[in-house]
Structure 1
């Protein structure tokens, strides 16, 4: 199953992408001076542009607060953004992320779905809801949303949704689809950590232990270790008969994740 923290990079990146788009439209050009001298022009933002800039600022701050774990501030900023523009899906998505971090599962699901319904052709927003469904035990249902994300026009990183689809298909017991989507994602993004970890899990399930080891090692090189991937790597090494290597991964769990090393 997708780890909960895998939703946040996509969620925050979506919010910041809106900010990166900038605001150049809607400016007014005001003439100063008259007569025989050359007129002086001053560019002045319209009220609409100023509101959009304010919205983007609040959205960016909310995303950074969520990333840092400052949930109260993230919620405050997201709600401030909504007061400026309640029809934009990104602030709703950030509120959903705050609720999910707080363990408010039903509320977060409703908010992610609201954002997806508001942006039916935004691949990143559809991916977020699909990932949320998978994380909360509904992997088969998630695939329809992730397929929509992959096919969304203008989605810059469909491999993100495709990696999620492969991982969720594996959770749903659809191993053939899982391999198809995971390998397709890795063609576009060879260091995708979600796809690499899921391929390691799939290879382990199939008894392809050397291939599973290779995928696990690639995953550990691609992104910071998580408890789940260290546990998976330990299981793979145990199946290969290298108990010393398996124990080293377990020791890393104890050192790097002491809060849940015994779970």
Structure 2
């Protein structure tokens, strides 16, 4: 069972949202069972009885966590760890629960326990790195992100590169952030979070042609929203592409007419 932190860094309603409820069941889309946490796949015959009981409790805890029933999830995690005190994945989920409860010391303690039990767990390194980034402990967070990315069997490298890039932006390391986001885009070009953040970074430093490439690709997909359309409008406006500005503005006003981006367009507030 892999439980991961995913996050978004977009303006307005999508600004720096930590989605700690993004828990993946074994074998489902988005699962990172290839993180390198185990040297081999554990089958039913390999699994000791105490681990099976702990795993079943953790599956229940994950479901409750995703539903927002935090106290029930925490109780199931406690029972999972009672059955198997060496179950690293239970400590990972417990850390995410404490993050949701904003109990940072207990969250950090749980991440440390998880890594002590399984130092090669890239998912835990990613999650712990995000926690440290939120606390402004950037050098420590970058070390953990690098640890996750270096794992050759880790299936979440694009996600971690994206998260690393956003943390580098927070730390003022814009060149490094561009490199991380570009690498993430190469691995997952369809990810709208990566595409938006990379386009926004390029726009802010005046690389308008490249910004146009990434934001156009996003706005031509079903994942466009008010924020992405507004960035596209500002980019095309600076490039003096009036037809493109008008087409994007029509979409913005038709689909998101009550948004602050539509209001900004009506005011001509391209440089706010």
How big is the shift at 1:250? 7.6
**Comparing both structures, which one devotes a greater share of its residues to helix?**
1
Task: Please state whether the residue corresponding to 1:191 is helix, strand or coil.
Answer: coil
Alignment correspondent of 1:76: 75
1:181 aligns with 2:180: yes
Q: Distance in 1 between matches of 2:45 and 2:32?
A: 14
For structure 1, the 5+ residue unaligned runs are 27-47, 255-263
Q: Answer yes or no: is the 8 Å Cα contact 2:32–2:123 preserved in 1.
A: no
Which stretch shifts more, 230-239 or 160-169?
Answer: 230-239
Q: Answer yes or no: is the 8 Å Cα contact 2:54–2:87 preserved in 1.
A: no
Q: Answer yes or no: is the 8 Å Cα contact 2:200–2:231 preserved in 1.
A: no
Residue correspondence of structure 1 range 148-227 to structure 2 within 5 A: 148-209=147-208, 211-212=210-211, 214-216=213-215, 218=217
Tell me the TM-score normalized by structure 2. Answer: 0.68
Alignment correspondent of 1:92: 91
Q: Answer yes or no: is the 8 Å Cα contact 2:161–2:180 preserved in 1.
A: yes
1:234 aligns with 2:230: yes
Residue correspondence of structure 1 range 1-263 to structure 2 within 5 A: 2=9, 3-9=16-22, 12-13=23-24, 23-26=43-46, 49-209=48-208, 211-212=210-211, 214-216=213-215, 218=217, 230-231=226-227, 234=230, 237-238=233-234, 240-241=236-237, 245=249, 248=253, 251-252=258-259
Which stretch shifts more, 171-180 or 208-217?
Answer: 208-217
Q: Distance in 2 between matches of 1:221 and 1:5?
A: 26
How big is the shift at 1:18? 8.9
Between structure 1 and structure 2, the one with the greater Rg is: 1
Deviations 1:63-92 (CA, angstroms, capped at 9, x unpaired): 122122111121111111111112222111
Q: Answer yes or no: is the 8 Å Cα contact 2:20–2:100 preserved in 1.
A: no
Aligned-CA RMSD value: 3.5
Asked which structure has the greater RCO (Cα within 8 Å, sep 6+), the reply is: 2
Task: Please state whether the residue corresponding to 2:164 is helix, strand or coil.
Answer: helix
Q: Answer yes or no: is the 8 Å Cα contact 1:93–1:111 preserved in 2.
A: yes
Q: 1:90 to 1:203 in 2, by over 3 A?
A: same
Tell me the TM-score normalized by structure 1. Answer: 0.70
Q: Answer yes or no: is the 8 Å Cα contact 2:219–2:229 preserved in 1.
A: no
Alignment correspondent of 1:37: none
Q: Answer yes or no: is the 8 Å Cα contact 1:14–1:90 preserved in 2.
A: no
Alignment correspondent of 2:5: none
How big is the shift at 1:103? 2.4
Q: Answer yes or no: is the 8 Å Cα contact 2:216–2:232 preserved in 1.
A: no
Aligned length: 228
Q: Distance in 2 between matches of 1:178 and 1:198?
A: 10
Q: Distance in 1 between matches of 2:189 and 2:232?
A: 21
Task: Please state whether the residue corresponding to 1:251 is helix, strand or coil.
Answer: coil
For structure 2, the 5+ residue unaligned runs are 1-7, 10-15, 35-40, 238-244, 262-272
